Amino acid sequence: MSPALPSLTVEADRVHGELEALAALVEPDLPGWTRTALGPVDRQARELVRRWMRDAGLETHVDGAGNIFGRLRGTGSGRTLMVGSHTDTVVGGGRFDGIVGVVGALEAVRALREADVRLEHDLVVVDFFHEEPNEFGLSCVGSRAMVGELTQAHLELRDEQGRTLADALATVDVDPSALLAARHDFTGVDAFVELHIEQGPYLEEHGSQIGLVESITGISRFRALFSGQADHAGTAPMDRRRDAGCAAAGTVLAVERIAGEGMQSRGTSGQLTFTPAAVNVVTERAEFRGEFRGPEAEWLRSAQDALTSAAQDEGARRDVDVEVEWLPLQEPMPMSGGVVSVLGDVVDGLGLSSTRLFSGAEHDAALMARAVPTGMLFVPSRDGRSHCPEEWTDLPDVAAGVTALTHSLVALDRRDPPPDWDGAPG
Ligand SMILES: [Zn+2]
């Protein structure tokens, strides 16, 4: 079925060298490998990536959203394949999340050029700006802008100090109006592929070298505010308190309970603040931010209703006012059935073991899939750990992923889009 694979050599040492070089560019006073998109070091890292793109023979440019592109000209079909990921990290994060996909795409370009394999398509490598969520509750800023889903309302989001996202972007020289205008023209783009670490334990537990992602989680985030009354911790009787902290705590437990009732669903209360933050004062005001994730949009909507009503019950029991505000629901995103089947054939042809799976983590690929037939390849994460300094993928596993990615690009280049190109994963 699939044509013979060309002879291509991926150099694990070069991949390792670039992973190390990026791991050296971190914010000095923060734990782990911290390089946040709105922080002081990310720009340096992205400049380095741009230099690597040029060294690999790519024509580079940066769009209004801060995404970096490197183009390898094809033999002239005028059509394009895209490949890439991100290089920013979360605070206290690791050295592999996103980075493997950018460095891996660069190595794919070098391997193709060294083997003299010319693609008919132009191949565009992308380092997406600002994939990880920020203190404004927004993630995938660059890819969101590319597919035209970034709005003025996003730029007006405020952090706890009252600063807007637009203000924060200006400090890293990203012009908010250029960002809104950075919608990409995807005409002639036949596919996007992202290589990424799994960030969970599934591949390791199943002894698989490669994960073929079938769909990416939906996400529903909220901010809940509880307003009660400050009182003396020693004299205010328990039955007369309006304790906003207790109402918030009950709602935190409701997140856990609701998520536990769904299939493959997750619920997390990531941020909770009490005001005044004093051991001897009944909490007047509590604010918390949390989220639900899952593969089914319908479940996410029912979880929103269940959580809002749980928060109201917790408030009502204590005469505490409750406001629950939901960010727009990010729908679960299936990958292109056509692309996934090409990736699967390539992985089988290389003799690599693989598993089809669902991604509980968000990715630029979920945004790109709105505009382009998209697929993702995962490589294993040791102990399933990610977004922490312990995040780790063995170099041979990274190299296997890069090899699969490189051959996938060749296979996508040589295959005419089948009629079910945009179909649901098989
Ligand atoms: Zn990532």
Q: How far is the CA of 416 from the centre of ligand 1 (A)?
A: 30
What is the domain class of 12-217+332-414 according to CATH? alpha beta
Ramachandran region of residue 71, left (φ > 0), alpha (ψ -120 to 50) or beta?
A: beta
Burial letters 388-420, b for 16+ CB under 10 A, else e: eeebbbeeebbbbbbbbbbbbbbbbbebebeee
Q: Give residue 389 CA to ligand 1 midpoint distance, Å.
A: 14
The pLDDT score that the predictor gives to residue 160 is: 79
Report d(CA 35, CA 285) in Å as an integer. Answer: 32
At 175 the three-state DSSP class reads coil
**3-state percent helix, strand, coil for the chain, nearest multiple of 5:** 35, 20, 40
Do 37 and 172 touch, CB atoms closer than 8 A?
Answer: yes
Instruction: Share the mean pLDDT of the chain.
Output: 94
Report the largest interatomic distance among the alpha carbons of the chain, rounded to a whole angstrom: 81
Q: Which CATH class name applies to 218-326?
A: alpha beta
Q: How confident is the model at residue 425 (pLDDT cuts 50, 70, 90)?
A: very low
Q: Residue 84: which of 68, 65, 72 has the closest Cα?
A: 68
Distance 300 CA to ligand 1 centre (A): 22
- Residue ranges covered by each domain of the chain: 12-217+332-414, 218-326
State yes or no: pLDDT of 308 exceeds 60: yes
Close Cβ partners of 352 (under 8 Å, ≥ 6 residues apart): 209, 210, 400, 403, 404
Q: Is the pLDDT of residue 221 over 70?
A: yes
Place 419 in a pLDDT band, splitting at 50, 70 and 90: very low
Q: Are 216 and 359 in contact (CB under 8 A)?
A: yes
Report the separation in Å between the CA atom of 398 and the middle of ligand 1, taken as the mean of its atom positions: 15
Residues 12-35 have pLDDT tens digits of 999 999 999 999 999 999 999 999
The DSSP-derived string for 125-173 is EEEES--S--TTS---HHHHHHTT---HHHHT-B-TTS-BHHHHHHHTT
H or E element that contains 385: none
Predicted confidence (pLDDT) at residue 4 exceeds the cutoff of 60: yes
Ligand 1 centroid from CA 231, angstroms: 44
22 membership: H or E segment, kind and range: helix 12-23
Distance 86 CA to ligand 1 centre (A): 6
DSSP single-letter state for residue 302: H
pLDDT in tens, 151-192: 999 999 888 788 999 999 999 989 999 999 999 999 999 999
Pairwise CA distance, residues 85 & 104, whole Å: 9
DSSP 221: E
End-to-end C-alpha distance for the chain, whole angstroms? 17
Q: Which residues surround ligand 1, an ion (CB under 5 A)?
A: 97-98
User: How many angstroms separate the CA atoms of 295 and 267, rounded?
Assistant: 13
CA 276 – ligand 1 centroid, Å? 36
Residue 2 binned pLDDT confidence (cut-offs 50, 70, 90): low
CA distances (Å), origin 214, targets 349, 357, 426: 19, 6, 8
pLDDT band at 424 (very low <50, low <70, confident <90, very high): very low
How would you label 123-147 residue by residue, b for 16+ Cβ within 10 Å and e otherwise? bbbbbbbbbbbbbbbbbbbbbbbbb
Under a CB-based contact definition with an 8 Å cutoff, are residues 212 and 184 in contact? no
From ligand 1's centre to the CA of 132, what distance in Å?
Answer: 7
For 53-110, the pLDDT digits (tens) are 999 999 999 999 999 999 999 998 789 999 999 999 999 999 999 999 999 999 999 9
Cα-to-centroid distance, 280 and ligand 1 (Å): 42
* DSSP run (H or E) holding 191: strand 189-197
pLDDT digits (tens, 9 = 90+) for 235-273: 999 999 999 999 999 999 999 999 999 888 999 998 999
Q: How much is the pLDDT for 426?
A: 35
Average pLDDT over residues 216-230: 96
Please give the share of the chain, as a percent, with pLDDT higher than 70: 97
Q: Per DSSP, what are the bridge partners of residue 221?
A: 291
Report whether pLDDT(111) > 90.
yes
- 420, pLDDT greater than 60: no
Q: Are 350 and 7 in contact (CB under 8 A)?
A: no
Q: What element of type H or E holds 61?
A: strand 59-62
pLDDT confidence of 423, banded at 50, 70, 90? very low
* Residue 196 to residue 205: CA distance in whole angstroms: 18
pLDDT higher than threshold 80 for residue 284: yes
